[in-house]
């Protein structure tokens, strides 16, 4: 089975995450997309994160009606902070029958060179990168020569190529562009705001549960 791994803090999960996951599930040869909830991202301040079990519950609720999407808590049982290369090693040992690709936004891709053992990722997976305003990968890669060389060595222009081999390719999808970050929603949620932006970008069930449980009242 071909699995797309969408790593994230999902703090909180929002419609932008769901649009990316659903788009990949419906416009690629991947059989499923797993939203992998990271309990502690080494590149993000721990104090800004809602409890991981609350984030896990919200993410499961958000995708419960979509059979092509699945939520994984695989990193909850691994050492913290969560390093993607360690998670991938564990997943390949646990699920040798699957082929994995990692889905990420352009902002995350442009920080790839800061990840632990980032050059080794191509041994395990493909990368499927969604464009994200205002980031322009082609332009901004020139500021990061090692990452630019890595991209040029592994790039493919066709999404279908991700199924032609087990790992090692990078595909940039410029058709999908999502301009939303959880960090822009948290200040609104912390003030118990019911602004149209919240209602537009959060699934109704997620917003209702956040309000009911008083989540994000003390986080930013």
What is the chain's alpha carbon radius of gyration, rounded to the nearest angstrom? Answer: 17
Do the domain assignments include residue 132? Answer: yes
Do the domain assignments include residue 8? Answer: yes
> Residue 117, SS3?
coil
Q: What is the model's pLDDT at position 148?
A: 94
Q: What is the model's pLDDT at position 218?
A: 64
Of residues 164 and 126, the one with the higher pLDDT is 126
Query: Cβ atoms within 10 A of the Cβ of 150, count?
Result: 20
Do the domain assignments include residue 215? Answer: no
- What is the domain range of residue 13? 2-180
Q: What is the model's pLDDT at position 37?
A: 97
Number of structural domains (the chain) is: 1
Q: State the CATH number of the domain containing residue 25.
A: 3.40.50.620
Tell whether the model's pLDDT for residue 126 goes beyond 90.
Answer: yes
Do the domain assignments include residue 195? Answer: no
By mean pLDDT, which of 92-106, 152-166, 188-202 is the weakest? 188-202
Confidence of residue 205 (pLDDT cuts 50, 70, 90): very high
Do the domain assignments include residue 7? Answer: yes
Do the domain assignments include residue 11? Answer: yes
Do the domain assignments include residue 81? Answer: yes
Phi, psi torsion values for 166, nearest 5 degrees? -75, -30
> Exposed/middle/buried for 44, CB within 10 Å: 0-12, 13-18, 19+?
middle
Do the domain assignments include residue 192? Answer: no
Over pLDDT 70: what percentage of the chain?
A: 92
């Amino acid at each position: 089975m071909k699995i797309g791994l969408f790593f994230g803090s999902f703090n909180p999960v929002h419609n932008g995450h769901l649009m990316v996951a659903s788009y990949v599930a419906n416009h690629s040869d991947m059989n499923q997309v797993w939203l992998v909830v990271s309990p502690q991202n080494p590149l993000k301040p721990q104090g800004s994160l809602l409890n991981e079990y609350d984030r896990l519950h919200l993410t499961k609720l958000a995708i419960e009606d979509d059979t092509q999407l699945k939520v994984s808590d695989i990193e909850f049982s691994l050492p913290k902070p969560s390093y993607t290369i360690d998670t991938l090693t564990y997943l390949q040992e646990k699920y040798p029958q699957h082929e994995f690709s990692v889905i990420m936004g352009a902002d995350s891709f442009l920080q790839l060179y800061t990840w632990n053992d980032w050059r080794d990722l191509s041994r395990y997976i493909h990368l499927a990168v969604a464009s994200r305003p205002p980031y322009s990968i082609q332009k901004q890669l020139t500021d990061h020569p090692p990452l630019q060389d890595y991209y040029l060595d592994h790039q493919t222009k066709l999404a279908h190529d991700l199924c032609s081999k087990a790992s090692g390719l990078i595909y940039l999808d410029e058709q999908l562009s999502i301009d939303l970050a959880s960090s822009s929603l948290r200040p609104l949620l912390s003030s118990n705001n019911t602004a149209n932006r919240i209602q537009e970008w959060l699934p109704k069930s997620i917003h209702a549960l956040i309000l009911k449980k008083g989540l994000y009242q003390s986080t930013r």
